[in-house]
Structure 1
């Protein structure tokens, strides 16, 4: 919630955009603020869902299909992860949401089934699809708020025109963001 709060504050402060900002920025900024306000209003529910989903765990931090390769070991397929420079701790949904959102929509149910089966073998049962969608959408929204914060700060402090363009893009992306799994 801190990134969300700070992203809102930075965007609210960005009343006067850099000189090179496109004329569409003012409207895009207002729409983006509206989306962030909605996320802020829903934050208590999202925080509860994350707390109820279980303890923090080791995270890869940049888990998308290009950082996974599959090899054969003793006649069985084994997934191996590479590029561990963003490792940290957090909710399981962070890495899993990254992976699902960056995978083809038709592959997501199969990928989640495999993940759930592995979690159950380890003694962990994941919540149902509705709760998972909330967790995954929350993780993606948090990543987006983090990016919005840094781009808004670059525009505010450095007059970075590139940051304004990225803010417009994040607004479009956030408008289109939907839960990754069919319900």
Structure 2
């Protein structure tokens, strides 16, 4: 076992030997790296192996429930089991050309635990995200509509997440408390103007209304946590997606909204034209569905900004700052605060599109975003 109690090379070698997979019989494990980000409920290991004939290969081994707890505090009791159910289902095979999951993903049950073993696709994940790449991602994200349209029964599985758009609504009270505390903390009181604070309170209060409206929108298969950190473009331009713990059925536009909301904080380069990305997605989605879905897609997109985007930043995001999680690294703290401010103001700019009327809300015009 490793220092954190995670499996060592010998343990993983035994797991591979216990199950047939794309790895060769007699595969040796050369090294194990702990890649767990500390945000999910699974331990994530990078594993280097060599087959008996000497061919090296790289794998990712995930162990549901073996990760760290964090301030995100998911209340989803199925979160740590859903990805294994996904890889054991028919959904990955139903994804159309242009969408992909890590190759050779295999679910192994060994020693009373569930293990997921899949090819390491780090090369695709580590390519830089640019506005041009984000446009390709928007078009590919629309393809998630295809499996449910081709075989509606695929989306009836009881383990699929149904209320992912409301996954972090329980952070709303903390968001209100953190906003109220800003005026009393010298380093944070300039984060938002008083009008913006009032507008953010209003948007937090709209959570139930937003979640109710999202449930009435046309639905699609959703990745549920589609961010630049969980996505990459391979050499053929396919969108490769990892970390399917939140996979489920949700409103059209939502996955694109989470991708855009967290684009910069997860390493995206350049400024995105959100309206243009949404237009590309909406057009592609409407073509796939054979009906006009651009307006529902805009509502789902705006809802992602005003739920996930606000709830995570104003809840655990601000809580982490106030508890001093980033105090020892001024650069990290500055980047975190910049994301909270810019992400919340971008969310406010979409409030009118989501039907949320808030005094002091940022307005949208032809030039982009304006914070009032």
Paired residues of 1:63 and 1:99 also in contact (CA < 8 A): yes
Q: Hey, what does 2:179 align to over in structure 1?
A: 11
CA drift at 1:3? 2.5
| Alpha-carbon spacing, 1:68–1:126, altered in 2? closer, same or farther (3 Å) | farther
Structure 2 equivalent of residue 84 of structure 1: 243
TM-score normalised per structure 2: 0.36
SS at match of 1:67: strand
Name the Cα RMSD after superposition.
3.9
For residues 126 and 57 of structure 1, do their structure 2 counterparts lie closer, same or farther at Cα, with a shift above 3 Å needed?
A: farther
Match in the other structure for 2:256: 96
Q: What is the aligned counterpart of 1:113 among 273, 283, 286?
A: 283
- Which residue, out of 300, 325, 329, partners 1:135? 300
Equivalent pairs, count:
167
1:53 aligns with 2:217: yes
Q: What SS class does the counterpart of residue 26 from structure 1 fall into?
A: coil
1:70 Cα deviation after fit = 7.2
Indicate how the Cα distance of structure 1 residues 172 and 115 shifts in structure 2: closer, same or farther if over 3 A, else same. Answer: same
Map of 1:27-66 to 2, 5 A cutoff?
27-29=190-192, 31=194, 33-54=197-218, 57-59=221-223, 61-64=225-228
User: Which is worse superposed, 97-106 or 43-52?
Assistant: 97-106
Judge conservation of contact 2:231–2:240 (CA < 8 Å) in 1: no
Query: Which structure shows the higher strand fraction?
Result: 2
> 5+ residue gaps in structure 1?
72-77
Displacement of 1:30 in angstroms is 5.6
Using the alignment, how far apart are the partners of 1:149 and 1:87 within structure 2? 19
Instruction: Using the TM superposition, give the Cα deviation of residue 154 of structure 1 relative to its aligned residue in structure 2, in angstroms.
Output: 1.7
Match of 1:149 in 2: 315
**Which structure dedicates a bigger proportion of its chain to helix?**
1
State the secondary structure of the residue aligned to 1:91: strand
Asked if 1 retains the 8 angstrom alpha-carbon contact of 2:257 and 2:302, the reply is: yes
Look up the match of 1:75.
Answer: none
Q: 2:175, 2:204 within 8 Å by CA — same for their partners in 1?
A: no
**Counterparts in 2 of 1:48 and 1:85: CA distance versus 1, 3 Å:** closer
C-alpha contact (below 8 Å) 1:62/1:86 kept by paired residues? no
CA distance in 2, matches of 1:104, 1:14: 30
Which structure's CA Rg is the greater one?
2
CA contact (8 A) 1:152 1:164 kept: no
Q: Which runs of 5+ in 2 are unaligned?
A: 1-168, 264-271, 354-363, 366-372
Bigger RCO (CA 8 Å, 6+ sep): 1
Contact 2:254 2:304 in 1 (8 A): yes
